[in-house]
Every structure is written in structure tokens, then in C-alpha cells.
A and B are shown apart, each in its own frame.
Chain A
Amino acid sequence: MAEIGTAKLRLPKMAKGKSAQAQTIIVHPNDSGFAKDETGAIPPAYFIEALTVEFEGEVVYAMNLGPSLSKDPYIEFSLAVDKPGRLRLTWKDNKGAVFTREQVVEPA
């Protein structure tokens, strides 16, 4: 089992200036605080509440997320860049933990 806060980030092959879908799966229980677990207990809310996507320091997406996102939230977003650069994902859970992930994007 991967650690809470890690994320898988899959970037498609990108052509300069062309839109393509990037996919990320963040490892997190994402408990809504409303649902019972296997034991019948209701675990308190513990979920990713924000995700920011930046390219070369410029914010592309600033997302507020509710507890409705699935366990290990899957988020897909489009990107179109015309130059190589750093893509940075920053996400925060409702307990205040902040995680980041960076990857270089190189459009062909």
C-alpha cells in the first residue's frame, strides 16, 4: 500500500500547443465523514480539499474539492504548453497536510 500523500502522475505525449489530458491519482482514504467503514464505524472526514496545478510557476488550475471525490482521488485535467517546463501539483487535505509533486513537461 502506497503512502498517504503520494500520487501517480501520468503525462501523455504532448505536442506543442496541443491540448492533452494529464491524469493523477492521489493516494488518500478520502473519507467523507458520512459513510460507514467495514466495521460499521463512521470515520471522521479526512479528504483532499484542494489541488493546484502550476506550469512554470503560473497557476493553471486551482481546485477546491469536496469529500465526494472517490477514495484515492482520480483527477484528470487538460494541458497545452508550447515550451518545456515544470509542472507542479500541490494538494492539501482537510487536516492541513500539504504535498507536492513536480514533473518536467516536454512537448515535442
Chain B
Amino acid sequence: MKILNRRDFLLLLGAANAALTVGLPGLAFADEAAEQKAKAEAAVKAFTGGKEAAQGSLILEAPDVAENGAQVPVAISMKGVKPVRVALVVDHNPVPTALDAAISPKYAGDAKIAVRIKMKRSSLVRAYAYDEKGKLHGAGKNVTVTLGGCG
């Protein structure tokens, strides 16, 4: 049987150490990501009731790349149909639901809503809407944030 020399032993120690320091935060990060995903899915389910959303009629406007995560412009509108309730979900934000609005079509015109949101980091942004007939619509867009701004 080979006896470990000093060099091998140090290498082994180094590897074990690296596994510890890299491995543990890695695990914590995975937990955090899973937790965040669950939060986002819960936010979506609270609005959609788990139903499948029709694509195409709901228009979500957001930049591909947001240089300043403190002020990301997002707009929600519909074509062809009128929304009576809309929601905006930012998957990676600590509180994913940014907006949940009831709309009374009588004076709402196009019922287009635009806001500026803070984004902690790059994330999927999702919009949902119920039209006057109760049909659920959805749209999503990935927004890359170069400077996070949960300030």
C-alpha cells in the first residue's frame, strides 16, 4: 500500500477544503433558488388559479436589457380584448407580485398600465390578464439587468 507523501497529503487537504468552501455556499444558493422559484410560482398561481394562459393577446413591453435595475419600464396592454384584471410578476424579486389591478372597462379606454419597477437581478417578467369573458391571458419576457437595483 502506498503511503501518502507530504505533497499528496497537502493536495488532498486542499481539495477537501475547496469542496467545503465551494460546496456549502453552492448548496445554500440552490436552496435559495428553489425557494425563490416556489415564491414566484405561488404568486402566479394566486392569480391564475393554476390555469393555462392563452398567449398572443396580452402585450408585455419591457426592455431586453435594463442598464438600471432601479427603474425598469414595464407596460401591459391587450389587443382585441379588454382586461378586467391584470397582474405583473417578477420571478426573481423578493415579493414577486409587483402589481395586481382590477379594471372597470367603462372609462379605462385601452386599459394600458405602465409602471417602473426595481429588479434585483436578471429575471423572467410575467404578465397575466383576465378579459371581460373571464379568459386568462399571459405573456412573459426575460429581462437582463446589468446593474441590480433593489434600492
Taking Cβ atoms with an 8 Å cutoff, the residues of A that contact B are: 18-21, 32, 34-37, 55, 58-71, 73-81
Partner of B110, one of A37, A64, A68, A78: A78
Interface size class of B (residues with CB under 8 A): 20 to 34
Give the number of residue pairs across the A-B interface with Cβ within 8 Å. 116
- What's the nearest-Cβ distance from chain A to residue B149, in Å? 8
Q: Are A20 and B116 in contact (CB under 8 A)?
A: no
> What CA separation (Å) do A74 and B101 show in the bound complex?
15
A78 touches B95 (CB 8 A): no
Chain B residues proximal to chain A, CB less than 8 Å? 70-72, 75, 90, 93-104, 106-120, 150-151
Determine which of B72, B109, B116, B118 lies in contact with A19 in the assembled complex, contact meaning CB atoms within 8 Å. B109
Tell me, in angstroms, the Cα distance from A67 to B150 when the chains sit together. Answer: 9
A76, B113: Cβ atoms under 8 Å?
Answer: yes
B117 contact set on A, CB distance < 8 A: 68-70
| Chain B residues whose CB sits within 8 angstroms of the CB of A35 once the complex forms | 118, 120, 150-151
CB contact under 8 A between A55 and B107, given known A68-B98, A71-B70, A76-B113: yes
Q: Top 5 nearest A-B pairs by Cβ distance?
A: A19-B109, A80-B109, A35-B150, A76-B114, A68-B98
Q: List 20 A-B residue pairs with CB atoms under 8 Å apart, sorted by A's residue number.
A: A32-B94, A32-B118, A34-B94, A34-B120, A35-B151, A59-B102, A60-B107, A61-B104, A62-B101, A63-B99, A63-B101, A64-B101, A66-B98, A68-B95, A69-B117, A70-B70, A74-B71, A76-B115, A77-B112, A78-B110
